[in-house]
Structures are given as structure tokens and as C-alpha cells.
């Protein structure tokens, strides 16, 4: 036999008021509406209701205390009935909220520096005006008489009780469609273009979603939410890596060997950078604080300058002559003049 006192977290001497209080708190916390798809919460919810069904009834409680009570059987409908008795409202079969939607907003990389107010255009389902959201001409469901519920009297462990369940004929709607509205074809909702302004926070990631409550599809139980996904348009020079930015700096042979002063296109304008003599291909210079803001945090990432050594494909006769002189000076063995010209026909067409 389960320990109903432990399930509700009350002592064996607990008053009816304390039991009810504990039940209210736990039932709300573990209610399936609040924990959709959570099997464990559902089991807990059942246990809590079972415990309350026994302990809230002085006669059953006395029997239970003396170990004379068998385990009561509660069906899902009964759980919600008990809940409704205590809370005064029904749950679990409430009118469904509209569906959540997802929309895309495109911004420039620069917009992520300070954040941006952006307008999102999307379509959502709203009640059809032609039929007032009814879907057409309605008639009351003959099976449930328009209540959406069917009731059966059942004999339970603690006496007869009424079991209610959703009407299988109208699926709980209480009505049937006699004639479909030509505008929404009986669906009761139509797609409408919407625009909503959202605040893109500084440094927002493309894997994050901005929630805009109440801007999803409209359903009988209210609207769903809109989730806005970010897309950053490609920047001509800069690539994004989280809060860091990457710039590929192309330098020539002489710049690599002799060093150079260059300008890097930062987010807020050109940044001067000194390339020291002897800089190799693939070397990285990091400019801290020149990246994007860390989302929700303090400070900014870095701008990483990756050096790409560009070897000239074509040389003027003068440049070739100078390079040959250079090669001779440092003792580098190079192909003789005209050598590649003769082989060109073999390798390159
Ligand atoms: Zn019905
Ligand atoms: Zn309609």
C-alpha cells in the first residue's frame, strides 16, 4: 500500500486544510497541461490525486489509517474531475491554443553590434470573418446534445459516480458542420499576412529563437506564440564565428618578408594593423574587443586576422629579373629562364 501522507508531503496528523493545501500545490505543479509529454509528471499527478481522493474523505482516511482500504482505482477522467472540484475550473479538456509559428528575420552583420528593431513579415491563421470563425452553418451534435461530453454512470469502489468523456461523434466540439463556409472551406480560419516588430539583441546567434508571445496562429483557446529565427546576410569581408569575426588578409611576397602596414575592415571602420617582417601564410593576428558583443553578457569577441600569402601568377620581365637576383643572393635554386615555357604545351593547355 502506498504511503499517501508521504505522497502529499504531510504528517499523519495533518488537518483537512493542510491536506487540501498540499494537494493544490502539488496538483498544479504536476498537472499534465503544465508538463506536456512528461510521463513521470503524469504518474505523479495520478498518485497525488489518488492520495487526495482517500485522505480528503474522513471515512476513507480512517479506513486507510487502519490498513483496511484497498487501492482505489482512478481513471484519467476522474483525476480531472477531482481537480475541477478543488480548483473550481476544468483543465485537460480546455479549448486548444493556436499553434506556435516560426518566422525568419534577416539582418546585416553590423546590426548585431548594437542590436536592432526589425520588422518580421509572416502569415498566421486567424478566424475567418465570413463565417465568424464557425467554419460554416453549424448544428448541435445529436450524440452529446451540444455539450461535447458524454456521461456514463459507473459503479466504483466508493459508490456510483459519473464518468465524463469527450464525445466521439463531434470530438468534443458540441456541433457538426451542416454547410461549409466557402471562404475557409469549413476550417474556420484563414491565413493573414502579419507584421510584427522585434528587438534583435546585440550579438544574437543564428541558433537562437526570439519568442514573441501571442503572435502565433489564433485558436479557440487564444493565440500561440511566434518564434523568430535570425539570418545574418553574408558580409563582403567578415565571417562570423560566434562572438568572433574572421578576416582573411591577403599579402604579397615582399610584404610577408619585409613587413607592412595595412588596414583591416572592422565592423566600425578600418583598423590599422602592422604586419611584422617574416610573417608566414596562415599566421593569425587577434584584435580583442573588435568582434561582436557576447550575447547577454559583457564585452565583445575578437577580430581574428588570418594571413593569406598570395604568390603572383604573372610577373613582369623586370620583376622576374629582380626575383632571379634575389634567388641568387640567398642561394635558392630556381628553374632556368625559358624552362617552363618549353614544357607548357605538355602540362597546361
Ligand atoms: Zn457530440
Ligand atoms: Zn469561413
- The pairing of strands 136-140 and 244-251 is unpaired
Domain membership of residue 125 as a residue range = 95-130+188-233
Q: Give the distance (Å) from ligand 1 centre to CA of residue 338.
A: 94
The whole-number pLDDT of residue 59 equals 84
**Integer Cα distance of 22 and 16 in angstroms:** 10
Q: Give the closest ligand to the alpha carbon of residue 175.
A: 1
Residues 122 and 150 in one domain: no
Residues 163 and 253 in one domain: no
Residues 18 and 83 in one domain: yes
> Residue for cell digits 613587413?
259
The band of 157, judged by pLDDT with boundaries at 50, 70 and 90, is low
The band of 348, judged by pLDDT with boundaries at 50, 70 and 90, is low
DSSP string covering 132-187, please?
TTS-EEEEE-TTTTTSSEEEEEEEETTEEEEEEEE-TTTTT-SEEEEEE-TTTTTS
**Tens-digit pLDDT profile for residues 146-155:** 888 887 777 7
Q: How far is CA 301 from CA 2, 32, 53, 145, in A?
A: 56, 43, 58, 65
Residues 149 and 274 in one domain: no
Residue 81 has pLDDT above 70, yes or no: no
The whole-number pLDDT of residue 216 equals 93
- The pairing of strands 303-309 and 244-251 is parallel
Choose from 78-82, 160-164, 174-178, 218-222 the range with maximum mean pLDDT. Answer: 174-178
Residue 293 has pLDDT above 90, yes or no: yes
Q: Give the closest ligand to the alpha carbon of residue 170.
A: 1
Q: Give the distance (Å) from ligand 2 centre to CA of residue 133.
A: 6
The CATH number given to whatever domain includes residue 250 is 2.60.260.20
Residues 21 and 64 in one domain: yes
The whole-number pLDDT of residue 78 equals 65
Please, what is the end-to-end C-alpha distance for the chain in angstroms?
Answer: 89
Domain count, the chain: 5
The whole-number pLDDT of residue 35 equals 77
The whole-number pLDDT of residue 66 equals 84
Q: Give the closest ligand to the alpha carbon of residue 185.
A: 2
The band of 84, judged by pLDDT with boundaries at 50, 70 and 90, is low
- Cell readout for 341 is 615555357
Q: Give the distance (Å) from ligand 2 centre to CA of residue 132.
A: 7
- Cell readout for 177 is 458542420
Residues 220 and 102 in one domain: yes
Q: Give the distance (Å) from ligand 1 centre to CA of residue 152.
A: 14
Q: Which of 129-143, 235-249, 306-320 has the lowest mean pLDDT?
A: 129-143
| Greater pLDDT, 34 or 77 | 34
| Greater pLDDT, 91 or 96 | 96
Residues 213 and 336 in one domain: no
**Tens-digit pLDDT profile for residues 201-256:** 999 998 888 999 899 999 877 788 999 999 999 999 999 999 999 999 999 999 99
Q: Give the distance (Å) from ligand 2 centre to CA of residue 190.
A: 8
Q: Give the closest ligand to the alpha carbon of residue 137.
A: 2
**Tens-digit pLDDT profile for residues 30-61:** 887 777 778 888 888 888 988 998 898 888 88
**Integer Cα distance of 287 and 289 in angstroms:** 7
Average pLDDT of the segment spanning 321-336:
93
The band of 68, judged by pLDDT with boundaries at 50, 70 and 90, is confident
Q: Give the closest ligand to the alpha carbon of residue 133.
A: 2
Q: Give the distance (Å) from ligand 2 centre to CA of residue 220.
A: 14
Residues 12 and 83 in one domain: yes
Q: Give the distance (Å) from ligand 2 centre to CA of residue 235.
A: 46
Residues 281 and 169 in one domain: no
Residues 158 and 65 in one domain: no
Residue 197 has pLDDT above 90, yes or no: yes
Q: Give the distance (Å) from ligand 1 centre to CA of residue 8.
A: 37
Q: Give the distance (Å) from ligand 1 centre to CA of residue 139.
A: 10
Residues 156 and 220 in one domain: no
Mean residue pLDDT of the chain comes to: 87
Residues 268 and 170 in one domain: no
The band of 100, judged by pLDDT with boundaries at 50, 70 and 90, is very high
Amino acid at each position: 500500500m502506498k504511503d499517501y501522507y508521504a505522497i502529499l508531503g504531510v504528517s499523519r496528523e495533518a488537518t483537512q486544510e493542510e491536506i487540501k493545501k498540499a494537494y493544490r500545490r502539488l496538483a498544479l505543479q504536476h498537472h499534465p497541461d503544465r508538463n506536456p509529454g512528461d510521463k513521470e509528471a503524469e504518474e505523479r499527478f495520478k498518485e497525488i490525486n489518488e492520495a487526495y481522493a482517500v485522505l480528503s474523505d474522513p471515512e476513507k482516511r480512517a479506513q486507510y489509517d487502519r490498513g483496511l482500504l484497498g487501492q482505489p482505482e482512478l481513471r484519467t477522467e476522474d483525476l480531472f474531475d477531482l481537480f475541477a472540484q478543488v480548483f473550481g475550473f476544468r483543465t485537460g479538456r480546455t479549448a486548444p491554443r493556436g499553434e506556435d509559428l516560426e518566422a525568419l528575420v534577416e539582418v546585416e552583420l553590423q546590426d548585431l553590434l548594437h542590436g536592432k528593431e526589425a520588422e518580421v513579415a509572416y502569415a498566421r491563421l486567424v478566424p475567418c470573418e465570413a463565417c465568424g470563425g464557425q467554419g460554416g452553418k453549424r448544428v448541435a451534435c445529436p450524440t452529446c446534445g451540444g455539450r461535447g461530453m458524454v456521461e456514463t454512470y459507473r459503479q466504483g469502489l466508493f459508490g456510483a459516480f459519473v464518468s465524463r468523456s469527450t464525445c466521439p461523434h463531434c470530438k468534443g466540439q458540441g456541433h457538426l458542420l451542416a454547410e461549409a463556409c466557402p471562404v475557409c472551406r469549413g476550417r474556420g480560419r484563414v491565413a493573414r499576412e502579419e507584421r510584427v516588430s522585434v528587438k534583435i539583441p546585440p550579438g544574437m546567434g543564428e541558433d537562437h529563437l526570439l519568442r514573441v508571445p501571442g503572435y502565433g496562429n489564433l485558436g479557440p483557446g487564444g493565440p500561440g506564440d511566434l518564434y523568430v529565427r535570425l539570418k545574418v546576410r553574408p558580409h563582403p569581408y567578415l565571417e562570423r564565428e560566434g562572438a568572433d569575426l574572421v578576416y582573411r588578409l591577403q599579402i604579397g611576397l615582399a610584404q610577408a618578408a619585409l613587413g607592412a602596414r595595412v588596414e583591416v575592415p572592422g565592423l566600425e571602420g578600418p583598423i590599422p594593423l602592422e604586419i611584422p617582417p617574416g610573417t608566414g601564410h596562415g599566421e593569425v593576428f587577434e584584435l580583442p574587443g573588435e568582434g561582436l558583443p557576447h550575447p547577454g553578457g559583457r564585452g565583445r569577441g575578437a577580430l581574428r586576422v588570418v594571413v593569406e600569402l598570395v604568390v603572383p601568377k604573372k610577373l613582369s620581365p623586370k620583376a622576374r629579373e629582380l626575383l632571379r637576383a634575389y634567388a641568387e643572393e640567398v642561394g635558392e635554386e630556381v628553374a632556368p629562364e625559358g624552362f617552363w615555357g618549353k614544357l607548357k604545351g605538355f602540362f597546361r593547355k
